[in-house]
Structure 1
Amino acid sequence: MKKQERQRYIKRLLSSKEIERQEDFVSLLHAENIEVTQATISRDIKDMQLVKVPSATGGYHYSLPVQKKMNTEKKLKRTLKDAYVSYATQDKFVLIKVLPGNGPALASLVEAMHYEHVFGTLGDDSTVLIICKSLDATLELQQTLQRLLSDN
């Protein structure tokens, strides 16, 4: 498995579980038939800039850095403010039109936000196609876009 795919699994695990130790990552990934070593997880933690934050139970668990997500959202808002033209939805798809040259950046920023409701994105020069996981997810993304556009 490629590093990028493995790190996507790690992010999914972090969104659903409080993981306290590197060995827990190894066990959970093995349960998904992903063979990794503790050393690989250690490098991933460093690469992803994961931090340990206090748990409700009194211990600590790994988390994505909050500041990174905030900066990403700020960049996403800025890109929408500067380049947004229009958007439309159909079923599980959201199509965003932007000024030429901004599609890849916007698609990348949407991916970097790790929205639970987004399955994936495709971005060309002036268009971004966002594929949602369900019809409800499409509505949720639409609300998120409206919020981001109105905050500008």
Structure 2
Amino acid sequence: MAADIRQSVSRRAAIVRIIRDSTVRNQEELVKALHRQGIEATQSSVSRDLRELGVAKAGDHYILATEEPLPSNHFAAVAGFVMGVRTAGDSLTVVKTTTGTAQSVAVAIDRSDWPEVVGTISGDDTIFIATEDARAQRKLRERLRENFRI
């Protein structure tokens, strides 16, 4: 168990170095870069590591999340990426973004700590946001409209 933890910490440190020092466009490139450094990794372990590290995708490459608190207008950096918002049922909101930017927008939403957001799942150009009920979903939609001017 301790060896697994050490291996995970070592792999994550290497991921940070790789992303900081080079342009990484996808998880496959990252797995290959880790292998070149002698670090065993799978796509699923890299995916989990990226999520835990708060790594976001900006356009066509990964960027490291800042360690500093986000400014009050942290949505300004990603507002232009949001193309639309629709609801699906009483507790699922779907946010459409420009290609390759959904993860960056989802990170901004996650870091906002809005109480109505239960969780987010992001793909390449789509974010699913779960809320507890229809009331929370309405509040979320208001916040999204305010912050993303949609």
The alpha-carbon deviation at position 111 of structure 1 amounts to: 0.7
Match of 2:85 in 1: 87
The answer to whether the 8 Å contact 2:81/2:105 transfers is no
SS of alignment partner, residue 106 of structure 1: helix
The alpha-carbon deviation at position 134 of structure 1 amounts to: 1.4
Distance 2:123 2:83 in 1: 14
Distance 2:140 2:69 in 1: 20
Distance 2:128 2:73 in 1: 21
CA deviations on 1:7-66 (whole Å, 9 max, x unpaired) are xxxxxxxxxxxxxxxxxxxxxxxxxxxxxxxxxxxxxxxxxxxxxxxxxxxxxxxxxxxx
The alpha-carbon deviation at position 84 of structure 1 amounts to: 1.4
Task: In structure 1, list runs of 5 or more residues that go unmatched.
Answer: 1-66
Residues 1-152 of structure 1: pairs in structure 2 closer than 5 A:
68-69=69-70, 71=71, 73-80=72-79, 82-90=80-88, 91-150=90-149
CA deviations on 1:55-85 (whole Å, 9 max, x unpaired) are xxxxxxxxxxxx935x1x52323312x2111
Distance 2:147 2:125 in 1: 19
The alpha-carbon deviation at position 87 of structure 1 amounts to: 1.0
Task: In structure 2, list runs of 5 or more residues that go unmatched.
Answer: 1-67
Relative to the length of structure 1, the TM-score reads 0.50
Amino acid paired to 1:78: A
Corresponding pairs, count: 82
Distance 2:124 2:87 in 1: 19
Match of 1:37 in 2: none
Identity %: 17
Amino acid paired to 2:73: K
Calculate the aligned-residue CA RMSD, in Å: 1.9
SS of alignment partner, residue 68 of structure 1: coil
The answer to whether the 8 Å contact 2:120/2:129 transfers is yes
